[in-house]
A and B are shown apart, each in its own frame.
Chain A
Amino acid sequence: MNVYSTICPGCNFGCGLYIRENGKVEVDFRKSSPANAGKLCRFGMSLSRLYSPVKSMVDGKETALPEAAKEAAKRISASKGSTAFLSFGNTTCEELLAFQKLAEPYLCTGANFEALPKDTYQTLSVGIPYSEIEVAKHIVLFIDPYEQYPLIVRRLLSAKKREAKITSVWWKDLPLADENIRPADVSKLKLTKDSLVIADFHPLSDVEQVMNVLSLAGNAGAKITFLKPFVNSTGAYIISKDAKQKSLGQLVEDINKGTIKTLFCLESDPYGIIPQETLGKLTNLIIQTGQAGALTTKANVVIAHEPLYKKKGTLINNEGRASALGGAGTNGLEALGIVAGTKFEFDPLHESVKKMLGISAVDEFTIPKYERPQYGAVQASAKPIEAKNALVSVYNPFMWYGLADDNDFVELNLGMVRALKLLKGGNIRIKSNGSSIEKKFKVSPVQDNILLTGKRLGIEKGTLTPVEVSR
């Protein structure tokens, strides 16, 4: 029986767990893990569904990894500079370092750093230790911790036991919040230097909102920490600090313009993140991955290797904590080497990762020391919601991975139910951009005129989509 000590790929929280291969993939609880004490959220408990095996393919025909990688290299070469390389950070630092060499002409981590002040890069990349959350006096949440980053809830509750005040700036009242402020009323928020702001940063983040949050915290001298949705987002950002990066928006624009015709995705499934009509314009979609996903059946080339839990390498979580994966697999590096026309050895890459972090060994119980520079004034802008009704997408691990969850409903408040005369057990009709869908609904303490969804409904355009609603 094989047991792997690993990290949950659901987000960048860094939750430790065991994967046991016992005829099928089983999840077990790694109770010594410093990030999560072995506890897992609904996504972590679903990992056996996520880790479905994948096979290397070229144009729908099964092949071996080296052949798929050689074919990818051929197609990239033939594309004559019209290839983009995308990795959200769902793999090891060692693979990301190798990938960066390959992706030099057009690297996309998904994050829109170009639109944000340079001196905020480190703040956006590396968060604060979770232990600091537990001792904060005033915590301000710009996330829904229950849906988006559930393992932070226990840290917040621990802070509450120490008499911290928790303010939520969200579209729904949160049970653990002492004060609930709606996003449109953010001017009512009172921050001090004792406040700790918790927000998130991802490829679909609204840059203006990120700047607003940075500005609010910066002006008050408050601490700020950003949570991130991919298992090694922090590692990806640290590694790419000095690299030229393109934003997701830029990538979409370049594909639409036809300047990018081939897209190479490393452990990143852009389904639902890049519009389907945009992906349809590509001549070649090449995916290197360890598990089957929405696009592996549609990609022109699939380079399949071991899943994350079997890999050898380093991951860095939101806190900046480095952890070693418990596997021995380096097929990902082998494949990248074939694509790049070189050979990537694990050991030198691992040494570079340690050097970058200023550590002599990867120890998950000790967080490396990071510079946490102050950033200068950030230009804030207030962007009011113009629509009468809006659908808010609450990005969570199930959405990023396109994995089914028990959430085929939208949340809305009782006022909307009464105004639309919705029936218990019935549906609400939602229209947007000429599309119409019917969904079950859940009554929650949500802001007037807002619908919340933790599922991709197919009608949304970004985080906040103006909609019309009826019975």
Chain B
Amino acid sequence: MMQKGEMYVGWSTKEDVRKRGGSGGLVTSVLAAALEKKLVDAVVVLKKMNEFEAVPVITSDVNEVLNSAGSLHSVPSNFAKLIANKNLKVALPAKGCDVRGIIEQGKRSAINLDNTFVLGLNCGGSMHPVMTREMLEVMYKIKPEDVHVEEIEKGKLIFETRDGKEHAITIDELEEKGYGRRENCRYCTIKIPNNADLACGNWGVTGDLAGKATFVEINSEKGARLLQNAVDAGYVQLQKPDEKGVAARAKIKGAMEGLSKKWKDKVFVPLDNKLEYFRKELENCIDCGACKSVCPTCSCGDVSKCTEFHYRGDAYKMSMYHLVRFLHLADSCIGCGQCSDVCPVDIPLARLYRRFANSMQEELKYEPGMDLRKPPYFEAKLEV
């Protein structure tokens, strides 16, 4: 029986999944095996809509899992809210921020973590699909429709076009020009999601297996069951990683975390007039509530403090809705950036929330979404 802490390199035994999926199709096959062997009742997969977007769906169809899109850099997914309050026995792939959202929903009793199998995906950052299309035309001088495959390797974002040509630009250069990863991804420090049941990715896959296999680390007893199930079902093959691979993975992780810290300093420069800064940034708010609806750490539902204290007829210079959310998120914000993504007037909400959360979470030495040890400070739901 596999154990927490073990590491493997593995791939799908199904040739078509290996061909279609990234890095040997291990994640797809583990999910399909979980469904087929009834470890779970449902799986979350991405249904591909075009080269730059996929929509998450919950399915119980093994074939739909095997034919799913895999992971795409231009799909800033948000799985925690998708599975919350549905009482599912489910397996799903998840970026670091997705994992954190799922754990926060678990703390708030909206997700039963005992029934949720989370396959964490290494993540250097995701990109907004509209920006990606513009970047391809402006920076790469290629038509978005011609893109066949995308990959991040050695600090470069690489697009392969249908004619087989590779087009590579360093992420640094792209981000200097305002393209590249979403802002919050640049300063995110969760590159290998050890808070998930499994942490999967291509970092550490070396030699002949490079690009054809996935490095997987078992982080929990649930993760061990999930991976063992896939092996027993004949869906994946595993082998022990070599020491060189393990070291390379740790090195990439360290380098990316270092870069994130630099970005954090760059984004969060000290402010002279904080009140005026926040007031100005929020003045275009149209009260749509999208930021709350996508927030993976919010489980309040329609009736909540931020909405109940707020009335559109109030003429406050900064609405009670935002003030309550600043307070709420000071301990809970995981910096996923979903709020900024959906804001119809482009308020950099994640940056505003992090302005409070950075100092608060450092002070409390509390990182939300990393484990279940501590409840959210302002939202503890005590069971009577």
**Any A CB within 8 A of the CB of B295:** no
- Is B53 part of the binding interface, using a Cβ–Cβ cutoff of 8 Å? yes
For residue A29, which residues in chain B have a CB less than 8 angstroms away from its CB? 290, 294, 341-342
**Cβ of B360 to closest chain A Cβ, rounded Å:** 28
Chain A residues with CB below 8 A from B300, complex form: none
Residue-wise interface mask of B (53-73) relative to A, using a CB-CB cutoff of 8 A (1 in contact, 0 not): 101011100000000000000
Cβ contact within 8 Å between A154 and B345: yes
A146 CA to B288 CA, complexed, in Å: 11
Interchain nearest-CB distance for B348 vs A (Å): 12
Give the distance to chain B from A392, nearest Cβ to Cβ, in Å: 17
The reply to whether A40 and B344 contact each other, CB–CB distance below 8 Å, is: yes
- Docked-complex contact B53 and A45, CB < 8 angstroms: no
Q: How far is the CA of A5 from the CA of B50 in the complex (A)?
A: 11
Residue of B nearest to A37 (CB): B130
Residues of B near A440 (CB, < 8 A) are 313
Q: Which residues of chain B (144-189) have a CB below 8 Å from chain A? A: 144
Residues of A within 8 A of B284 (CB): 146, 153, 157, 175-176
**Given A28-B55, A31-B76, A153-B344: A45 touches B289 (CB 8 Å cut-off):** yes
CB–CB B313/A409 < 8 A: yes
Task: Give the interface centre of B49, B59, B130 by most chain A CB atoms within 10 Å.
Answer: B130
Which listed residue (A33, A34, A40, A442) contacts B313, Cβ 8 A? A442
Do A32 and B57 have beta carbons less than 8 Å apart? no
Q: Judge whether B278 is part of the interface by a CB distance below 8 angstroms.
A: no
Determine whether the beta carbon of A42 is less than 8 Å from that of B345. no
The answer for the CA separation of A24 and B240 in the assembled complex, in Å, is: 46
Chain B residues with Cβ below 8 Å from A146 are 284, 286
Whether the pair B290, A40 counts as a contact (CB closer than 8 A) is yes
Instruction: Let me know if B312 and A407 touch, CB within 8 A.
Output: yes
Q: Give the secondary structure class of B's interface.
A: loop
Known: A1-B58, A407-B312. A41 touches B344 (CB 8 A): yes
Whole-angstrom CA separation of A150 from B287 in the bound complex: 10
* Contact flags B319-362 to A (C-beta < 8 A → 1, else 0): 00000000000000000000001111110000000000000000
**Given known contacts A5-B49, A31-B53, A365 and B286 CB-to-CB distance under 8 angstroms:** no
Q: With contacts A29-B342, A31-B76 known, is A42 near B130, CB below 8 A?
A: no
B53 touches which of A22, A30, A407 (Cβ 8 Å): A30
Give which listed residue, A3, A38, A409, contacts B57 with CB less than 8 A. Answer: A3
Bound: A28/B290 CA distance, A: 10
A142 to B283: give the CA distance in the assembly, Å: 20
Tell me the minimal C-beta distance from B350 to chain A in angstroms. 14
Q: Does A408 contact B (CB under 8 A)?
A: yes
Interface size class on chain A is: 35 or more
* Contact residues in B for A18 (Cβ distance below 8 Å): 55
Interface flag for A443 (CB, 8 Å): yes
B129, CB-defined interface residue at 8 Å: yes
Complex contact A151–B55 (CB within 8 A): no
Residues of B within 8 A of A36 (CB): 344
> In the bound complex, do residue A45 and residue B293 qualify as a contact, i.e. CB atoms below 8 Å apart?
yes
Which listed residue, A3, A30, A39, touches B290 by the CB 8 Å rule?
A: A39
A406 within 8 A of B: yes
Interface residue B311 (Cβ < 8 Å from any Cβ of A): yes
CB atoms of B342 and A38 under 8 A apart: yes
Q: Does B253 contact A (CB under 8 A)?
A: no
Cβ of A449 within 8 Å of any chain B Cβ, yes or no, is no
Nearest-neighbor residue (CB-CB) of B131 within chain A? A37
Knowing A29-B342, A34-B130, the reply to whether A42 touches B313 (Cβ < 8 A) is: no
The reply to whether B286 and A150 form a contact with Cβ atoms under 8 Å apart is: yes
Check: B264 CB closer than 8 A to any chain A CB. Answer: no
Q: Which residues of A contact B208 (CB under 8 A)?
A: none
Known: A5-B55, A153-B286, A443-B315. A31 touches B49 (CB 8 A): no
Let me know if B288 and A40 touch, CB within 8 A.
yes
Cβ of B14 within 8 Å of any chain A Cβ, yes or no, is: no
B119 to chain A minimum Cβ distance, whole angstroms, is 20
Distance of A155 from chain B, by nearest CB (Å): 10
Q: In the complex, what distance in Å separates the CA atom of A86 from the CA atom of B346? A: 37
Q: Are B345 and A3 in contact (CB under 8 A)?
A: no
Give the complex CA separation of A36 and B346 in angstroms: 11
Select the residue from B128, B286, B294 with max chain A CB neighbours within 10 A.
B286
Give the CA-CA distance A407 to B313 in the complex, in Å: 7
Measured CB to CB, the closest approach of chain A to B168, in angstroms, equals 23
Q: What is the distance, in angstroms, from B293's C-beta to the closest C-beta of chain A?
A: 7
- List A23-67 residues whose CB lies under 8 Å from chain B: 28-34, 36-42, 44-45
A181–B353 CA distance with the chains assembled, in angstroms: 35
A417-448 interface bits toward B, Cβ cutoff 8 Å, 1 = contact, 0 = none = 00000000000000000000000111110000
Q: Is the CB of A442 within 8 A of B346?
A: no
> Min CB distance, A10 to chain B, in Å?
11
Rounded to whole angstroms, the CA-CA distance of A409 and B287 in the bound complex is 15
Task: Give every chain A residue within 8 A of B50 (Cβ-Cβ).
Answer: 32
Question: Which residues in B have their C-beta under 8 angstroms from that of A22?
Answer: 58, 86
Which residues of the other chain, A, contact B315 by a CB distance below 8 angstroms?
442-444
Chain A residues whose C-beta falls within 8 Å of the C-beta of B293 in the assembled complex: 45
A29-B341, A39-B343, A39-B344 given; name 9 further pairs at CB < 8 Å: A28-B55, A31-B129, A40-B344, A41-B288, A154-B346, A157-B284, A157-B346, A175-B283, A406-B311
Across the A-B interface, give the 6 residue pairs with the lowest CB-CB distance, nearest first.
Answer: A32-B53, A409-B313, A32-B129, A39-B344, A42-B288, A37-B130
6 contacts between A and B (CB under 8 A): A3-B57, A31-B53, A31-B129, A37-B129, A41-B344, A176-B284
